[in-house]
């Protein structure tokens, strides 16, 4: 029970940190690059075989 309570107390702050980090990065990021990354993620989501042998760019 103690672990559950600890987890519940940690998760909201983790979500808050993640959201703030995202907002800070979005404020200074390159929108075109972000859209290109999202497009690549969509392609991989539709065709997981694209990950096979792919190297980072």
Which DSSP symbol is given to 53? Answer: T
pLDDT digits (tens, 9 = 90+) for 23-57: 888 889 888 988 888 888 889 888 888 777 555 55
Q: Containing domain of residue 15, as a range? A: 2-51
Tell me if 7 is assigned to some domain.
Answer: yes
Q: What is the pLDDT of residue 4?
A: 64
Which DSSP string do the residues of 22-43 spell out, in sequence order? HHHHHHHS-HHHHHHHHHHHHH
With respect to residue 46, please indicate whether it lies within any of the assigned structural domains.
Answer: yes
Q: Identify whether 57 is part of a domain.
A: no
**Does residue 21 register a pLDDT over 60?**
yes
Looking at the structure of the chain, the number of domains it has is: 1
Let me know if residue 56 belongs to a domain. no
What pTM, to 2 d.p., does this model score? 0.43
């Amino acid at each position: 029970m103690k672990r559950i309570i600890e987890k519940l107390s940690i998760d909201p702050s983790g979500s808050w940190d993640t959201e703030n980090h995202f907002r800070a990065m979005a404020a200074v990021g390159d929108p075109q690059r972000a859209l290109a990354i999202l497009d690549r993620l969509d392609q991989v989501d539709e065709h997981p075989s694209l990950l096979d042998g792919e190297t980072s760019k």
